[in-house]
Amino acid sequence: MAVGVFDSGLGGLTVLDALTKRLPEVPFVYFGDNAHAPYGVRTADDIFNLTCAATERLWAEGCDLVILACNTASAAALKRMQETWVPPEKRVLGVFVPLIEALTERQWGDNSPPREVAVKHVALFATPATVASRAFQRELAFRAIGVDVEAQPCGGVVDAIEQGDEILAEALVRSHVEALKRRMPAPEAAILGCTHYPLMEKAFQDALGPGVKVYSQANLVAESLADYLTRRPQFLGTGTRSRFLTTGDPAYVSNKATQFLRRKITFEAA
């Protein structure tokens, strides 16, 4: 009954943490493609090929349902995977839609025409590849009209977080927020469009100010998955144990992950 969770590096651990708290009875297999991180500076084809390879590895672990806990993969690869690659008996889901549903106050599966929503000015902070894909704007347009989205590519933030350099990460966050606010001085809401960014949520909130509602993904994705599995229990796979897999050096990644989540995490070679 295992579910797969994929990220290019450690950021997806923020989603995994929320998933395990919301669904303690479900074993999760986490795959971090640390050898190829970060994805945010790669081409769309490269991201697609790497994400497909990781997904196949999770299928081999008995995970018929895989969550792309990586906004870059969700933005640059998911649609193409679902349309051309994923077989009918498997499912691959991304992390954008639960966020957009929360922003537009929609229930899961509400496919009614796009409508006016309360929030009109939204700041999106994401990796360069996610910003370039315009996937967030595309999904938002299916659900809402009249929303102005200003996207800020946040180069360097993921690298700083993965390297454990919190001071540099905070400085980069402030710089990126200042750059966005020069173009959109008064955003009403901010989307943290990378699963690494919840670790910097306070830095984003402080830089944006108390009047901006900051949306982070982990808990929203966890609630969405719980709802999905209630309706589609057939996609609970055959896997029975939780594991942490990495394409990187297991000892190094385990050490960084333990610092990241502040609890002992042991990765195995994928």
Helix axes 13-22, 250-261, angle to 10 degrees: 60
Q: Which residues pair with 61 in a beta bridge?
A: none
Nearest to residue 194, comparing CAs of 245, 115, 128, 258?
128
154 flagged as catalytic: no
Q: Which residues pair with 116 in a beta bridge?
A: 145
Q: CB under 8 Å to 91, separation ≥6 — which residues? A: 64, 65, 66, 232, 235
Q: How far apart are CA 204 and CA 34, in angstroms?
A: 25
Q: In sequence order, what DSSP letters do the residues of 27-85 get, joined into one string? A: -EEEEE-GGG---TTS-HHHHHHHHHHHHHHHHHTT-SEEEE--HHHHHHTHHHHHHHT
Strands 28-32 and 91-93, how do they pair? unpaired
- Given the residues 52, 63, 154, 194, select the one marked as catalytic: 194
**Residue 189: strand, helix, or coil:** strand
Distance, CA of 176 to CA of 67 (rounded, Å): 28
Give which of 38, 7, 29, 18 is closest to 268, Cα–Cα: 29
- Tell me: cis bond preceding 38? Omega within 30 of 0 counts: yes
Q: What residues have CB less than 8 Å from 155, skipping those under 6 apart?
A: 40, 41, 127, 128, 172
**70 included as an active-site residue:** yes
**Which residues are identified as catalytic?**
70, 194
